[in-house]
Amino acid sequence: MRRDEILRWINETDQAALADLHRQADAVRREHVGDAVHLRGLIEFSNHCEQRCGYCGIRAPNQAIPRYRMSSGEVLDRAREVHRLGYGTVVLQSGEDPVAGGHWIADLIRSIKAETDLAITLSLGERSEGDLATWREAGADRYLLRFESSNPELFRKSRETTPHGLVDRIRTLEVLKSLGYEVGSGMLIGLPGQTSADLARDIALLRELDLDMIGVGPFIPHPGTPIGRHFPDPASVDGQVPSSEEMALKVIAMARICCPDTNIPATTAVATLNQQDGYERGLRAGANVVMPCLTPDGVRAQYQIYPNKARLHGADPETQRDLLVARIHAMGRTVGRGRGDSPKAGKRSAMAVVAPE
Ligand code: SAH
């Protein structure tokens, strides 16, 4: 898909044409990653954060939310639950919490690996090269770090970083790759100030980065943040991208067409905009992953990156799994078995085997 085609789809509003885009993406998904939907158990273990991202509810300056950090014993317990439920991957996510860093994470990874055969995905923000290497050695398999926006100025303004913010983040993605992680990235859709041209460049960057995983979702305003408080900005830029379900589904579809053999979740942010069948619509527009939340009920409301986060139906994790599996089967899809590694990572290790010849 060329850049001008991407831009044309971003601006397309005809429903029949959009349905066709979803169908194309769905066919590419079926051909390249099959009908299996991989489930990843998400544990949001700490909402302490040192960053000041202008869009994120757990940013350091937000004093309106109580802060929590689960103990490693509690996280391990939830990881056992992820395993017991039959999910092949546990995703450990947090704010940039310096206390839950270095050896704390490394020990946790080793404990999970000692007891289970779960793949471990980390989503811990920008951390030192030393920590990233230590965690990989301890057994972590994958890392998610969205670039958020490929426009350096929008990145800098939205995240209150230095002018090098975006360059540093993309360098970290390269470091993660060289350490042997499966790497995931992506962006926010409809961030105030984001134009159609920015979003087209974001999609082109997804392709250039040659990712194992792509996570994209609509920006959802949080009243406790500078960007959320002024949303929608009356002085918004010409050609502002809407943070709508429709736009998010278009982007998932284009990501699938541009990056056919990548794992792409129907994200919680999409399901938050459409609590009825947001997951299904994502899965029909090119996605092949869902990430059920296993964060304990007692702290879940405090992990408020954005408000009104979608919850799966069902009173307990087991019922939630059963209802989710039934929804996947009702779509004619299957549930992935095992770790659900990136098809690309498989090709990479096959290449490594033949490399010495
Ligand atoms: N601290 C880590 C992981 C948690 S944030 C990190 O920054 O990588 C995970 C993702 O949530 C971010 O990458 C961002 O794209 C998304 N996010 C943050 N605030 C959001 C909002 N208001 N609406 C939608 N998504 C948001």
52-73: pLDDT as tens digits: 999 999 999 999 999 999 999 9
* 49 phi and psi angles, rounded to 5 deg: -150, 140
Can you give the C-alpha Rg of the chain in angstroms?
19
191 lines ligand 1 (CB under 6 A): no
| 352: pLDDT strictly greater than 80 | no
Pocket test for ligand 1, best of 49, 56, 308 (most atoms within 8 A of CB): 56
| 38: pLDDT strictly greater than 60 | yes
Q: How far is CA 75 from the centre of its chain?
A: 20
- Cβ atoms of 32 and 328 closer than 8 Å: no
Distance 16 CA to ligand 1 centre (A): 32
- The structure tokens 């030393």 sit at 130
* 231: its two tokens: 């949303």
Peptide bond into 232 cis (omega under 30): yes
97 lines ligand 1 (CB under 6 A): no
> What pTM does this model have?
0.96
Segment 105-129 shows an average pLDDT of 98
Distance 188 CA to ligand 1 centre (A): 8
| 357: pLDDT strictly greater than 50 | no
Beta-strand relationship, 213-214 and 217-218: unpaired
157-214, pLDDT tens digit by residue? 999 998 899 999 999 999 999 999 999 999 999 999 999 999 999 999 999 999 999 9
- Cβ atoms of 268 and 289 closer than 8 Å: no
Distance 51 CA to ligand 1 centre (A): 11
Segment 112-141 shows an average pLDDT of 98
Tell me, what's the pLDDT at 151? 97
**What's the chain's average pLDDT?**
95
Tell me, what's the pLDDT at 355? 52
Measured CA to CA, the distance from residue 8 to residue 125 in angstroms comes to: 33
303 lines ligand 1 (CB under 6 A): no
DSSP annotation of 293: B
248-273, pLDDT tens digit by residue? 999 999 999 999 999 999 999 999 99
Tell me, what's the pLDDT at 237? 75
- Cβ atoms of 81 and 295 closer than 8 Å: no
Measured CA to CA, the distance from residue 46 to residue 292 in angstroms comes to: 17
| 103: pLDDT strictly greater than 90 | yes
| 289: pLDDT strictly greater than 70 | yes
Distance 309 CA to ligand 1 centre (A): 12
Measured CA to CA, the distance from residue 349 to residue 357 in angstroms comes to: 14
256 lines ligand 1 (CB under 6 A): no
Q: Residue 261 CB: number of other CB atoms within 10 A?
A: 16
Per-residue CA distances from 36 to 105, 173, 184, 267, 314 (Å):
30, 27, 19, 16, 22
95 lines ligand 1 (CB under 6 A): yes
Considering the chain, what percentage of its residues have pLDDT values greater than 90? Answer: 92
Which range among 85-89, 144-148, 227-231, 348-352 shows the weakest confidence by mean pLDDT? 348-352
216-252, pLDDT tens digit by residue? 999 999 999 999 998 887 777 778 999 999 999 999 9
91 lines ligand 1 (CB under 6 A): no
* 216: its two tokens: 């994209």
Distance 310 CA to ligand 1 centre (A): 15
Distance 275 CA to ligand 1 centre (A): 19
| Residue 217 bridge partners (DSSP) | 188
